[in-house]
Amino acid sequence: MKKEPFVTKEQLDKITQEYPTPFHLYDEKGIRRNVEALKEAFSWNPGYREYFAVKATPNPFLIDILKEYGCGCDCSSYTELMLSDAIGIRGEEIMFSSNDTPEADFQLADKLGAIINLDDITHIEFLEKAIGHIPETISCRYNPGGLFKISNDIMDNPGDAKYGMTTEQLFSAYKILKEKGAKEFGLHAFLASNTVTNEYYPMLAKVLFEQAVKLQKETGVHIKFINLSGGIGIPYRPDQEPNDIRVIGEGVRRVYEEILVPAGMGDVAIYTELGRFMMGPYGCLVTKAIHEKHTHKDYIGVDACAVNLMRPAMYGAYHHITVIGKENLPQDHKYDITGSLCENNDKFAIDRMLPKIDIGDYLVIHDTGAHGFSMGYNYNGKLKSAEVLLKEDGSTQLIRRAETPKEYFATFDCFEIGKKLLK
């Protein structure tokens, strides 16, 4: 089976004349159609808002597209807050969901008026000390523990995750926060990652809605919003059936009508914090075959490496690969597709059946639009690549230039050696 790239060979031949490989390429048209479908799926909830998970793709040009549709930002660090502020996303358009949070991060979140989502009950005292008060609107992250199952399938193991409060801590936290002056409350949970099933969000919603009814009844707080967080995945493999966001939205609506409305909580806003779903399929890593090696196996060496996309090296994650211009040729050659790092796990594919690859062929590595560039690093002194936007009209826009050696050495600028390196 194969995946269709969102860029053609003719387009790529032109793009690579302007931007040397490797680079991440993003599909503006796909991003826009996707966010339109998301908004339609949750249009039944007047207060609905998507808070894009900045960690997935922290590029202001891409986030600005989502901003046009009313999306906010889900931030988890000081610099993500800075980025959101710089593009004009402030106040309750920012959800600050972090863990092991430094004092300065809470202070900036408060300064920007962000909604703060507390990860632990001990953070109440820490937050109050850091900013001098408790915000009137605040949220808490819930972790029910155990295994999260849909039917008989285990989706994930919340009990083994470092995030969120236990049920007992959650109730105590709401009572403490109310006593300290909080007036509006949110409830948040993330129980499974990259789920490729339309059942996940409705199941999660049921857990959170039932808990919200109990919380409001037993603590007397007003639940303003319920944040379903992320977890809606994408089909990395070509044989996987993609999620249908409209079916997911309808499933959440049914649970909302069954649980919240009868409890007199029909005013609760629904929030989401999607990253992978929003951007993943609409980005790809474009790289060129520069070496081939035939030893105990057949290897194709490309000019990208795990610095550009570390998911395969880190998780053994599957990313589909298309050899541009050879989409319809027989996939009768078995290759390991490798990068140049001094690590044997620097491989984009292992024993992958592909068409015969020649030196100079361009490879498109699919589904890198989220947690692709953003997870990059500088091992072996490798430099981060450029990011390019393929616009709706077929033109391109550079939205991040490639890193330079001077930038790699920039933190030596206060030393004598730095003067030599930064010449």
Give the model's pLDDT for residue 193.
Answer: 83
The pLDDT value recorded for residue 191 is: 83
Give the pLDDT mean for 248-267. Answer: 98
Instruction: State mean pLDDT over 107-123.
Output: 97
Who has greater pLDDT, 160 or 406?
406
pLDDT (0 to 100) of residue 159: 64
Contact 23, 12 (CB under 8 A): no
Whole-structure pTM value? 0.95
| Helix 60-67, helix 78-86: angle, nearest 10 | 60
pLDDT tier, 154 (very low <50, low <70, confident <90, very high otherwise): very low
Give the pLDDT score at 8. Answer: 95
- In sequence order, the β-bridge partners of residue 50 are 272
Predicted confidence at residue 107, as pLDDT, reads 98
Residue 186's pLDDT is 98
393 DSSP assignment:
T
Separation between Cα atoms, residue 264 and residue 48, nearest integer Å: 18
Helix (H) or strand (E) holding 311: helix 311-315
Q: What number does CATH give the domain 27-280? A: 3.20.20.10
Q: Is the pLDDT of residue 150 over 70?
A: no
What mean pLDDT is predicted for residues 208-214?
97
CA-CA-CA-CA dihedral for 199, 205, 208, 210, to nearest 10: -100
User: What pLDDT was estimated at residue 128?
Assistant: 98
- The partner residues of 352 in beta bridges, in order of sequence, read 335
Residue 12 host element (H or E): helix 9-18
> Can you tell me the distance from the alpha carbon of 151 to that of 293, in angstroms, rounded to the nearest whole number?
46
Across all residues in the chain, what is the average pLDDT?
Answer: 95
The residue-averaged pLDDT of 327-340 equals 97
pLDDT beyond 80 at 176: yes
Which of these is catalytic: 75, 305, 342, 414?
342
Q: What is the pLDDT of residue 153?
A: 53
Q: What is the pLDDT of residue 148?
A: 63
What's the rounded mean pLDDT across residues 245-254?
98
DSSP-assigned letters across all residues of 282-298: GEEEEEEEEEEEESSSE
Is residue 342 among the annotated active site residues? yes
Mean of the pLDDT values across residues 400-412?
A: 94
Query: How far is CA 271 from its chain centroid?
Result: 15
Q: What are the phi and psi torsion angles at 404 (to 5°)?
A: -115, 160
Average pLDDT value for residue range 299-315: 96
What is 281-412's CATH number? 2.40.37.10
The residues spanned by each domain of the chain are 27-280, 281-412
Share of the chain above pLDDT 70, in %: 97
Residue 151, pLDDT > 60, answer no
Rg (CA), the chain: 23
> Rounded to whole angstroms, how far apart are CA atoms 42 and 50?
10
- CA–CA dist 114, 54 (Å, integer): 14
Spatial CA neighbour of 59 closest among 401, 404, 361, 413: 401
Q: Which of 80, 141, 74, 147 is nearest to 108 (CA)?
A: 80
Least confident residue range of 73-82, 143-152, 253-262, 289-298: 143-152
- d(CA 26, CA 22) in angstroms, rounded, equals 13
Least confident stretch, 94-98, 188-192, 373-377: 188-192
Segment 110-137 shows an average pLDDT of: 97
